[in-house]
């Protein structure tokens, strides 16, 4: 299968009839009020306008976040690591994220002010004045059974709101603090006699802050930025059918740069960053209307800082799109690239199966030309079949794999005339709609469900030539008979089989390569075979494997589906003595290759892995690789948590995660993207 990496921009918003709940939030007059689970609400972030997203949180056009109570129990959520929400009177009372086993509990007063928060570590209690401003906080720590209280007073001085806090520890010690706010923004914070910490902001064209500068005289000055996208920005991109992008560092200080969407001269946060299409373009996705955009050359290099471009729209109207480029394909579901899928082509249509999630995609109008094609989605227990109604010809696809052996199979119909595929006399699949189909293309069928059967015998697939052939059998040896310089006939069990899907000369003009289904074979030293001579072909690669050809005892060439992979399309790194890590750029796959052949053969095979990020664990530590490139030791660190999981940081920011690192032996391991999970070192 041909697959490529996609790290995509996803513009999305959900339409639902869920309860629109919100705790009382008033940042201008009551900036100290706790908000609990509602910290991402626009008022809590002090953001105004028709906001599409702030960082990684998306909003409906009316600015609301939507909350849905879970339809399963809290215990089930804990057992199966699922998120959980329980609501009462339109407010969240119990909440648990998927990554945690510990729920949080919330209570409110009649004004929707939060009065209590409880988790495994703390119980916080809150009381308010008549203006719904926080007056007192009591915090009980369960570990040592201590309580801390804080009381607040408010005073408006000019255009600034001064909030004074009196903090009393469990031992009776007291300290004071003052926080100054302007229009809900924190401007200054002071504790006792310490010099005050000051805050400065820059604002976007809508008047919302996008950078916060914290000036702390006792420590360092820090600057925090945030990315805000507005619906008028999204609507303009959709209307113009294009967007702007620019190559900027992946993380601050990194030499690796990636394409970012640019709005008003600023990059959108990393969740919108461009990803790699098959031909190394930067691909972006907007879910409002389902639009895809392609910036040519966006991934030609990882170091071309500052390169800019315009990405025109390349597909619209469906969130499911297949990309085809010079024989390679990739598939995208709502902007995300499918990593492990199987596909099949028939007529003017394409079928793609994500077997992990049982998602079936049909591209109904495929012209085999380079470009992007909209697809249709079905979820569930389906199968696929190809049908040529004019010839009564069928192809059966089980779990994404074409059935090659039709021995011991037969056909029936159900009452409406749809065909039923039989194995060993038992009905297996109903080819839904096959009685009425008029086009040669792929369709979805289903499992047989006990319907009454009727006799029928359609024709099986035949070779296009006049010579009678049988389908290829993956379990039988292939014998080849030489009929010309590079002309051969193919047999199994004494029967002529259909011609292979490709047949080429290998480098060096000593061997011939050919393929059936998802398997590859070689005819060795073909020039030495006599005319009408017969020899066995050798199977050298199976599904999800790439052919490795050795020259003078060393790995020299790679083949995929009969096509040589040029050096420009792969990157080689020596990860251990005698062993290569090879990143196949257009396939977006990684293989591990023995540099020297161990069986005195010119051909071998290497399994393709979908992961792009790897470590090589050795006696000295680890080597880190990303997209086939070695990450220098000084630019990353990794930490082990108490469970033995490894957290990898690049430039002090979380990047990758590997579960059960401590128990793994020396070798190569794929990394998952870090999701910001907290841990104890």
Task: Tokens for 354, please give them.
Answer: 């994500």
CB 590 within 8 A of CB 609: yes
Predicted TM-score (pTM) of the model is 0.61
Most distant CA atoms of the chain, gap in Å:
102
Of the listed ranges 6-20, 522-536, 545-559, the least confidently predicted one is: 6-20
616 DSSP β-pair partners: 623, 668
Return the DSSP state at 470.
B
DSSP count for the chain of H helices, then E strands: 2, 63
Q: What is the pLDDT of residues 358-401, one digit of tens each?
A: 899 999 888 778 899 999 999 888 999 998 887 677 889 988 88
- Does 467 have pLDDT greater than 70? no
Mean pLDDT value across residues 255-280: 80
Return the DSSP state at 67.
B
H helices within 12-150, ranges in order? 74-79
- Does 269 have pLDDT greater than 80? no
Task: Tokens for 296, please give them.
Answer: 């040519």
Q: What is the pLDDT of residues 155-212, one digit of tens each?
A: 999 999 999 999 999 999 999 999 999 999 999 999 988 899 999 999 999 999 999 9
In 3-state terms, what secondary structure has residue 261? Answer: strand
Report which of 261, 351, 259, 219 is spatially closest to residue 5, judged by C-alpha positions.
259
Q: Please give the Cα distance from 441 to 323 (Å, whole number).
A: 18
Query: Can you give the pLDDT at residue 230?
Result: 94
Query: Can you give the pLDDT at residue 3?
Result: 39
- Does 30 have pLDDT greater than 80? yes
Query: Can you give the pLDDT at residue 460?
Result: 44
Q: What is the pLDDT of residues 326-360, one digit of tens each?
A: 778 888 888 888 888 888 888 889 999 987 788 99
Q: Please give the Cα distance from 83 to 636 (Å, whole number).
A: 31
DSSP string, 576-639: ETTEEEEEETTTTEEEEEESB-SSS-SEEEEE-B---EEEEEETTEEEEEETTEEEPGGGEEEE
- Does 255 have pLDDT greater than 50? yes
Query: Can you give the pLDDT at residue 75?
Result: 93
Confidence of residue 680 (pLDDT cuts 50, 70, 90): low
Q: Please give the Cα distance from 440 to 391 (Å, whole number).
A: 9
Q: What is the pLDDT of residues 390-431, one digit of tens each?
A: 767 788 998 888 887 887 888 899 999 999 999 989 999 999
């Amino acid at each position: 299968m041909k697959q490529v990496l996609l790290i995509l921009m996803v513009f999305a918003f959900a339409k639902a009839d869920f309860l629109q709940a919100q705790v009382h939030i008033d940042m201008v007059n009551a900036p100290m009020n706790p908000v609990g689970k509602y910290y991402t609400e626009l008022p809590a972030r002090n953001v105004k306008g028709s906001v599409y997203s702030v960082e990684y949180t998306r909003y409906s056009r009316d600015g609301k976040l939507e909350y849905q109570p879970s339809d399963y129990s809290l215990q089930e959520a804990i057992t199966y690591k699922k998120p959980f929400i329980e609501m009462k009177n339109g407010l969240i009372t119990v909440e648990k994220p998927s990554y945690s086993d510990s729920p949080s509990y919330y209570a409110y007063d009649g004004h929707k002010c939060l009065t209590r928060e409880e988790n495994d570590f703390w119980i916080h209690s809150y009381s308010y004045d008549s203006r719904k401003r926080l007056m007192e906080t009591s915090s009980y720590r369960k570990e040592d059974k201590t309580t801390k209280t804080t009381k607040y007073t408010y005073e408006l001085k000019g255009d600034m709101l001064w909030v004074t806090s009196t903090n009393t520890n469990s031992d009776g010690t007291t300290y004071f603090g003052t926080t100054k706010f302007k229009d809900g923004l924190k401007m200054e914070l002071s504790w006792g006699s310490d010099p005050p910490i000051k805050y400065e902001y820059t604002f976007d064209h809508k008047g919302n802050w996008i950078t916060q500068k914290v000036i702390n005289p006792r420590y360092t000055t820090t600057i925090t930025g945030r990315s805000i996208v507005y619906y008028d920005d999204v609507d303009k991109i959709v209307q113009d059918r294009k967007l702007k992008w620019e190559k900027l560092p992946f993380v601050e200080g990194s030499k690796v740069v990636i394409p970012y969407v640019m709005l008003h001269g600023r990059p959108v946060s990393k969740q919108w960053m461009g990803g790699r299409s098959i031909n190394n373009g930067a691909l972006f996705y907007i879910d409002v209307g389902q639009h895809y955009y392609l910036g040519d050359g966006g991934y030609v290099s990882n170091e071309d800082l500052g390169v800019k471009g315009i990405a025109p729209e390349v597909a619209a109207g469906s969130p499911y799109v297949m990309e085809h480029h010079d024989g390679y394909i990739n598939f995208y579901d709502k902007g995300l690239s499918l990593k492990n899928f199987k596909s099949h082509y028939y007529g003017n249509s394409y079928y793609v199966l994500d077997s992990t999630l049982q998602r079936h995609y049909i591209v109904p109008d495929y012209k085999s030309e380079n470009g992007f094609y909209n697809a249709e989605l079905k979820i569930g227990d389906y199968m696929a079949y190809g049908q040529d109604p004019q010839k009564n010809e069928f192809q059966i696809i089980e779990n994404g794999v074409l059935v090659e052996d039709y021995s011991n199979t037969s056909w029936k119909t159900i009452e409406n005339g749809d065909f039923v595929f039989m194995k060993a006399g038992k009905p297996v699949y109903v080819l839904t709609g096959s009685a009425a189909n008029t086009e040669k293309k792929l369709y979805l069928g289903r499992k047989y469900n006990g319907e009454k059967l009727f006799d029928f015998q359609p024709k099986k697939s035949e070779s296009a030539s006049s010579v009678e052939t049988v389908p290829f059998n993956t379990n039988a040896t292939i014998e080849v008979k030489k009929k010309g310089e590079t002309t051969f006939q193919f047999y199994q069990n004494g029967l002529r089989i259909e011609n292979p899907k490709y047949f080429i000369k290998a480098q060096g003009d000593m061997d011939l390569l050919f393929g059936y289904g998802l398997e590859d074979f070689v005819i060795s030293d073909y020039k030495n075979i006599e005319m009408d001579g017969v020899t066995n072909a050798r199977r050298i690669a199976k599904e999800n494997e790439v052919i490795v050809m050795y020259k003078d005892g060393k790995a020299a060439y790679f083949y995929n589906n009969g096509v040589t992979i040029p050096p420009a399309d792969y990157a080689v790194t020596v990860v251990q003595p005698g062993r290569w890590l090879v990143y196949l750029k257009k396939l977006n796959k990684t293989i591990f290759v023995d540099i020297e052949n161990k069986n005195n053969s010119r051909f071998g095979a290497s399994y393709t892995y979908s992961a792009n990020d790897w470590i090589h664990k050795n006696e000295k530590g680890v080597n880190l690789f990303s997209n086939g490139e070695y990450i220098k030791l000084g630019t990353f660190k990794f930490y082990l948590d108490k469970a033995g999981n490894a957290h990898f940081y690049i430039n002090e920011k979380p990047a990758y995660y590997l579960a059960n690192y401590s128990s793994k032996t020396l070798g190569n391991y794929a990394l998952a993207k870090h999701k910001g999970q907290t841990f104890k070192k």
